[in-house]
Amino acid sequence: MQASYLTYPEWMDPFVIDGLPIRWYAVMYLVAFFLAYLVFRYQCRHDGVIDISDDEGENFFITAIIGLLIGARLFSVFFYSDGIYYLTHPWMIFWPFQNGQFVGLPGMSYHGGVVGALVGAWIYCRRHKIKLMLITDLTVAGIPLGYTFGRLGNFFNAELYGRVTTKPWGMVFPTAERFSSSEPWVQEVANKVGMAFNPGDMLNLPRHPSQLYEAFFEGIVLFLILWFIIRPLKYKKKLPDGTVFSFYLMGYGIFRFFIEYCRQPDANIGYIIKGGKGADNIALFQSFLNISEGQIFCILMVAAGALLLFVLLQWRAYDDNRTSQRAKGKAAGKGNR
């Protein structure tokens, strides 16, 4: 039987240069930050909605990135790892070495990064008297484009791969968990994809390349929506500051929620909500009713974006009505003279 799956490219190496502790993952994140900054500066110079110098823009971005790294790491530690261990060993939270080797920050949470970056932005804006929602709109417009490269970095690292699949574009990742061919479901998958095995073999089954799904939908597609639809709509309809940020939260949350069905939940967490069959085997998709922790955060993200947009629109309507009443009052006063 002909194999109907892909093999992770052998030429891909997580290290940029052999012998040096520099990974493509880190390089891609630097590219992501740089692209987001370029898009931010382009808007500052061409849209004319904010007067901010290059130095101020760089300082703002640095503050937001510091907040992002702190938030991403803390969320990863306390929501996806052994939080008790880190509470008793707090110095290990940002310790970049494992087994005597430099590994950087070993775990990062996207949702924590959003919270951390927002806190960093709020601190900077409060100190420098800048409208938070305005500068946030300018920032998030380019984030999805940078996020694309971040997920490509995960792909180069052969990490954050998805669930086992029999789709022809399923990929065998060298770092993925192997399963015993004595398991009936493992035999079934192997037979469907044409993977030869002997009884008792530990098999590395094809998985969804979910990093590429995310790079495309949460990166490229979301960027196109924000840049060519939401952003022009904001200026054309004179929508309140924070509109682009609201749609970013909702758009990312929706895309990520459904892609999570292709991603394998963390083994130490599993499903937060078990509403369907097969909840004991997280390596396979079994039911839309089985909800992971990442999906819970996505639901909260969508809800936060929708609530923020509602509040902004209501406040704008209230402000416009108050302005209209003042104008009518002035006109009536002139008429009485």
Cβ neighbour number for residue 156 with a 10 Å cutoff: 20
Cβ atoms 138, 40 nearer than 8 A: yes
Sign of the CA dihedral 185, 189, 192, 197? negative
- The phi, psi pair for 176, rounded to 5°, reads -75, 155
Residue 16 tokens, joined:
């940029």
Residues in the chain: 337
How many angstroms separate the CA atoms of 161 and 210, rounded?
Answer: 6
Domain residue spans of the chain? 164-207
Q: What is the pTM of this model?
A: 0.92
Cβ atoms 208, 165 nearer than 8 A: yes
- The phi, psi pair for 316, rounded to 5°, reads -65, -45
How many angstroms separate the CA atoms of 47 and 78, rounded?
Answer: 40
Q: Tell me which residue of 10, 299, 262, 270 sits closest to 151, measured CA to CA.
A: 262
In angstroms, the Cα distances linking 93 to 81, 82, 117, 257 are 11, 11, 18, 27
Full pLDDT tens readout for the chain, 337 residues:
578 999 999 888 878 777 777 778 888 889 999 999 999 999 999 888 898 999 999 999 999 999 999 999 999 999 988 888 888 888 888 888 777 766 667 788 999 999 999 999 999 999 999 999 999 999 999 999 999 999 999 999 898 899 999 999 999 999 999 999 999 999 999 999 999 999 899 999 999 999 999 999 999 999 999 999 999 999 999 999 999 999 999 999 999 999 999 999 988 899 999 988 888 899 999 999 999 999 999 999 999 999 999 999 999 888 878 877 877 777 666 665 5
DSSP classification of residue 253: H
